[in-house]
Amino acid sequence: MGPPRIAPQISYLAQQSWNALGELGELVKTASTNRAEFIQECRDGKFEGVVAAYRTFFSFEITGQMDEELVSVLPSSLQYIASCGAGYDQIDVHACSARRPPVRVSNVPTAVDDATADVNMFLILGALRNFNAGMHALRQGKWRGQPAPPLGRDPRGKTLGILGMGGIGRNLQKKAEAFGMKVIYHNRRRLNEELSGGARYVTFDELLSTSDVLSLNLPLNKHTRHIIGKKEFAKMKDGVVVVNTARGAVMDETALVEALENGKVCSAGLDVFEEEPKIHPGLNSNLSVILVPHMGTWTIETFTAMEEWTIENIRLALTTGKLKSPVPEQADF
C-alpha cells in the first residue's frame, strides 16, 4: 500500500513541524479553490490513500460546511480529521461517526482561550465606553462627533454574565475581575468551586435578567443555535451590553438589531456573525456596535499553538491510533 497519505493546508508558522510528518507519510495538498472543485477532486480519486486530513482555519472558505454531502465523498481510506480550532461546528461529527469505518475528529480545545478572552474583554470595554461612535467620527474629521456620543460606563461594579463557562469563559472571568466586574455564569452543568473560581452559578433566566453585560462563550450546535433571540432579549435589563466571541448563530442577529433599535440593548461587541463574511446591515450601520472580523485568535502565538496542536493530533493518530484531543461526541471511540 505504501506510506499513509495526509492532506494539509499549512501556514509557514508551523511548517517545520508539518514537514516532520513527512517522515511518517506522504504529504498531499488540495488544488481546489471552491467546494465544487474539492468534491470533484474527491470523486476523481485524488485523495485515495489519504489517512488523515488537516482542516485548516481557512479551509471553510474553500470547502464550506463539512456536511453529510462532503463526508460522503471523502476517500474511503480517511480515518482522521484534525480541525485547527476550538469550535468544530463546521464539521458534521454525526456523519463522520456514521461512516464505516468511522472518521475520528479532533479539535484544539484550549489553545485559543487566552487570545479569544482578550478580544472578548476588548469588546466589553469598547461597548461599555461607546468607543466605536467616537472612533468613527474621528476618522471622518469630526473629532468625537457632532453631537458627541453619549457618555460611556465604567466596568467596575458591573455584573458580567457569562453564558458558557468553558476555557474561554473562565479566562474571561479573570480578566473581567481585574477590571472590578462581578461575574455570574450559566452552564449546562454547574462547575466545582475550583473551576468556577468563585463565580456564582445562576439559572439561565437569572443570567438574562441580572447581567449588565452578557457575554456569549458557548459552542454552536443544534441546542444552542439562536439561544439568544427576541424572547431572551425581553428578559434582559434595559440598556444591557451584549458581546459575542463564540459563533454568530448562537444569537438571532435580526432580534439583536431590533433590541438595539428599541434601546433594550445599549451597545454590542461582536467578533462573529451569522453569515460570515456577510454582516447584517442593521449592525453595520449602528454606531453603538463595535465589530471585529472574527479575529479572536488572530495572533502569531495563538495561530502557532493551534497549528502545533493540530499537527500533534495527526502525529499521534498515525503513530498510536489515538488522538490527543478527540471531540467530546467521539470521546468513547
Read off the pLDDT of residues 183-230 as tens digits, 9 standing for 90 and up. 999 999 999 999 999 999 999 999 999 999 999 999 999 999 999 999
153 and 283 assigned to the same domain: yes
- pLDDT at residue 21 in the model: 87
Across the range 167-195, mean pLDDT stands at 97
This prediction's pTM: 0.91
Q: Are 285 and 257 in contact (CB under 8 A)?
A: no
Examine residue 296 and state whether it is found in any structural domain, yes or no: no
φ, ψ of residue 54 to 5 degrees: the values are -95, 115
pLDDT at 235: 98
Calculate what percentage of the chain has a pLDDT beyond 90. Answer: 88
**Same domain (yes/no): 19, 40:** yes
Whether residues 305 and 285 share a domain: the answer is no
| One domain for residues 177 and 236 | yes
Which position has the grid cell 458580567?
A: 160
What mean pLDDT, rounded, does the chain reach? 94
Which domain, by its residues, includes 267?
A: 113-291
202 CB-near residues (< 8 Å, 6+ apart): 161, 184, 185, 186, 210
pLDDT of residue 165: 97
Number of domains composing the chain: 2
Q: What integer pLDDT is reported at residue 11 of this predicted model?
A: 62
Distant-in-sequence, close-in-space partners of 321: CB < 8 Å, separation ≥ 6:
none
247 catalytic per annotation: yes
Measuring CA to CA, which residue among 232, 236, 230 is closest to residue 258?
Answer: 230
Q: Which of 55, 153, 170, 247 is catalytic?
A: 247
Cα–Cα dist 251/256, whole Å: 8
Shared-domain flag, residues 71 and 119: no
Residue 90 CB-density burial (10 A; 0-12 exposed, 13-18 middle, 19+ buried): middle
Active-site hit among 294, 308, 312, 329? 294
- Residue 316, pLDDT above cutoff 70: yes
Together in a domain, 63 and 138: no
User: What is the CATH number for 20?
Assistant: 3.40.50.720
Contact, 199 vs 183, CB < 8 A?
yes
The residue ranking higher by pLDDT, 264 or 3, is: 264
Same domain, 230 and 317: no
pLDDT at 332: 82
pLDDT for 166: 95
Convert the pLDDT of each residue in 259-269 to its tens digit: 999 999 999 99
122 with 151, same domain: the answer is yes
Q: Which of 2-11, 61-70, 128-137 has the lowest mean pLDDT?
A: 2-11
Does 56 score more than 90 pLDDT? Answer: no
For 22, residues 6+ apart whose C-beta sits below 8 A from its C-beta are: none
**pLDDT value at residue 2:** 44
- CA–CA dist 73, 68 (Å, integer): 9
Which three three-digit cell numbers place residue 7? 492532506
Element (H, E) at 310: helix 300-320
The pLDDT of residue 5: 52
68 is catalytic: no
Residue 278 and residue 130 in one domain? yes
Residues in CB range of 128: below 8 A, 6 or more apart: 152, 153, 154, 155, 158, 213, 241, 267
242 three-state secondary structure? strand
Do 282 and 305 lie in one domain? The reply is: no
Between vectors from CA 152 to CA 150 and to CA 154, what angle results, nearest 5°?
A: 165
Q: Are residues 244 and 118 in the same domain?
A: yes
- Indicate which residue of 37, 258, 276, 312 is catalytic: 276
Q: Lowest-confidence range among 52-61, 116-125, 198-207?
A: 52-61
Shortest CA distance to 132 belongs to which of 310, 292, 316, 312? 292
User: Is-catalytic flag, 276?
Assistant: yes
Residue with cell 488572530: 298
The predicted structure's pLDDT at residue 4: 58
